[in-house]
Amino acid sequence: MRSPIVRWPALTLSLALALAGCAKGTGGGPPAAQQASRYDPAATFTGTLTVMGFGGDDEIGATRLAKAKAALGGADVKLVEGDLDIQQFLSSVAAGDPPDLVYANRDQIGTFASRGAIVPLTACVKGEGIDTSMYDENALAQVTFGGEVWAVPEFNQVQIVMADAGLLRQAGLTVADVNGSDWAKITEAAKKLVKAPGGKLRVIGFDSKLPEFLPLWAKANGADLLSPDGRTARLNSPQVVEALEFAVGIYAAQGGFAKVKAVRDAADFFGKGNQFAEHELGAMPMEQWYVNVLNDVSPEAPLAFDAFRTPRGEPLAYSSGSAWAIPKGAGNAAAACRFAKTMTLVDTWTAAAQARLDKRKGEGKPFTGVLTGNVRADKEIRKMVTSGGEPWDSGVKAFYEANEHTFSLPANPADKEFKDAWQGAVNRVLNGQDQPRQALDRAQRDAQAALDKAWAWWTKRTG
């Protein structure tokens, strides 16, 4: 299952005004705590619940949506579908006409909270009796700061290594040469796998997936980009610099990032002409949901899978995903809380998995599982996985192993600014504007300034 990708548009003047409006509308700080008495697990709801950023257009989403609607006891649900439009969302909050519930990436929750655009869910959790122990610890931590939970975790995403087994075999390699356990071997494998006749890149040997996966390479090298309390940037530590140098060097060994990106962007990523089916990619780390995509569109492609591993051979994954948050000023917050709770319950997830399983059986294909932010649901869903033979069984094994060895970046009130800083640094290096150390030194200054400002503001407003 591919969870929706939520993108930040360019910070135009209108968005800047919307942000300012949000801050002004909440007195420049977090909204006041709500009363648990507002929430009653026995209550039924009427009227309309407006949900922004969620589609429910496949069997996983549709099954869960039906259960959430039924749990409301009568209220209509209006979906504002498509990727979350951040400008539209913040503008609606500033105008006093927000949706009742918003579906966002977990790494956006801290910024939304600091802008006063969403409310803390402490009362929601208590009043609806939500058992937060069912949620993945990293997923829950990513939406918790200032002593309060700000969102309900939903899908979970982790990375595994995916490779073209045919290309590996032709080059005398195995997946162990590209799984991260030996960085020197990855570099050599990339050189052996790459094909660039006449200087024109045709086959990417290894894609280190920058800029998105810098946190993964850094963590594998023993470094965190951010301190556990979310207050101190660590972007220019020697280990992070080394990780960036390595991951960028992979591209340099293949003719440079521009050539790799051109081949990457031209691929039919979700179709039958994907890079593995067309033998245009040796290996890469990638989110686990892509196993299901590949099995669906190119089941005969020769593939090999393994967990991404540290140089010590230990499995590792950078956990990210989606979450449900209630906007400030939501007219039907109690119904929104019930909806978010129901969408993430064990029974809801297993019903959705059964719907996927039934569909896959009808198509004569295996059910490769679904990763959620609910550890109990994951345990039950794993029992439902069906064998597809190799390499698919190895793919499923790899992503469940990865899911047991995850980390995430701590929540903080400058989530967006922090992410912009490190991704901007990586992009400057990829574009040839800066060297890794220079780029990360600048990112460190920018990120720390943003963190200091946001935390000072947060502390002042929360007393």
Give percent above pLDDT 90 in the chain.
84
CB-count exposure of residue 37 (10 Å: 0-12, 13-18, 19+): exposed
Query: What confidence tier does 36 reach under pLDDT thresholds 50, 70, 90?
Result: low
Confirm whether 364 is domain-assigned.
Answer: yes
How is residue 463 written in tokens? 């007393």
Residue 398's alpha-carbon distances to 7, 52, 440, 456, in angstroms, are: 28, 33, 32, 42
Say yes or no: 240 and 371 in one domain. no
Q: What residues have CB less than 8 Å from 156, skipping those under 6 apart?
A: 136, 139, 319, 320, 321, 371, 372, 373, 378, 403, 406
Confirm whether 365 is domain-assigned.
Answer: yes
Mean pLDDT of the chain: 91
- Is residue 302 a contact partner of residue 281, using CB atoms and an 8 Å limit? no
User: Could you tell me whether strands 144-145 and 317-318 are parallel, antiparallel, or unpaired per DSSP bridges?
Assistant: unpaired
- Is residue 458 a contact partner of residue 239, using CB atoms and an 8 Å limit? no
Say yes or no: 222 and 251 in one domain. yes
User: Could you tell me whether strands 76-80 and 48-52 are parallel, antiparallel, or unpaired per DSSP bridges?
Assistant: parallel
Residue with tokens 């198509």: 363
- The yes-or-no verdict on residue 254 having pLDDT over 80 is yes
Say yes or no: 20 and 126 in one domain. yes
- The yes-or-no verdict on residue 14 having pLDDT over 90 is no
Read off the pLDDT of each residue in 201-217 and give the average, rounded to a whole number.
97
Based on the structure, what is the number of domains in the chain? 2
Better pLDDT: 29 or 399: 399
* Nearest CA among 369, 378, 371, 361 for reference residue 396: 369
Alpha helices in 309-374 (DSSP H): 333-343, 346-362
Q: What is the pLDDT of residue 134?
A: 97
Residues across the chain = 463
Confirm whether 8 is domain-assigned.
Answer: no
Say yes or no: 26 and 67 in one domain. yes
Give percent above pLDDT 70 in the chain.
92
Read off the pLDDT of each residue in 255-264 and give the average, rounded to a whole number.
95
DSSP 134: G
Say yes or no: 192 and 234 in one domain. yes
- The yes-or-no verdict on residue 33 having pLDDT over 60 is no
Read off the pLDDT of each residue in 170-190 and give the average, rounded to a whole number.
97
Say yes or no: 222 and 357 in one domain. no
The rounded distance, in Å, linking the Cα atoms of 81 and 67 is: 18
Confirm whether 218 is domain-assigned.
Answer: yes
Say yes or no: 341 and 366 in one domain. yes
Cα R_g (the chain), whole angstroms: 22
Better pLDDT: 376 or 38: 376
Does residue 34 sit in helix, strand or coil? coil
Query: What confidence tier does 35 reach under pLDDT thresholds 50, 70, 90?
Result: low
Say yes or no: 238 and 204 in one domain. yes
- The yes-or-no verdict on residue 380 having pLDDT over 80 is yes
CB-count exposure of residue 101 (10 Å: 0-12, 13-18, 19+): buried
CATH of the domain at 171: 3.40.190.10
- The yes-or-no verdict on residue 26 having pLDDT over 80 is no
- The yes-or-no verdict on residue 29 having pLDDT over 80 is no
Read off the pLDDT of each residue in 282-306 and give the average, rounded to a whole number.
96
Q: What is the pLDDT of residue 82?
A: 83
Say yes or no: 314 and 444 in one domain. yes
Q: What is the pLDDT of residue 83?
A: 85
Q: Which of 366, 398, 430 is the last residue of a domain?
A: 398
End-to-end CA distance of the chain: 42
Beta bridge mates, 310: none
Q: What are phi and psi of 384, to 5 degrees?
A: -90, -10
Q: What is the pLDDT of residue 142?
A: 93
Q: What is the pLDDT of residue 55?
A: 83
Query: What confidence tier does 37 reach under pLDDT thresholds 50, 70, 90?
Result: low
Q: What is the pLDDT of residue 34?
A: 59
pTM of the model: 0.90
pLDDT tens by residue, 125-141: 999 999 999 999 999 99
Q: What is the pLDDT of residue 5?
A: 34
Say yes or no: 206 and 225 in one domain. yes
pLDDT tens by residue, 75-113: 999 999 888 888 899 999 999 999 999 999 999 999 899
Read off the pLDDT of each residue in 447-453 and give the average, rounded to a whole number.
97
DSSP 160: E
- The yes-or-no verdict on residue 11 having pLDDT over 70 is no
Say yes or no: 297 and 445 in one domain. yes
Confirm whether 407 is domain-assigned.
Answer: no
* Host domain of residue 111: 13-157+320-398
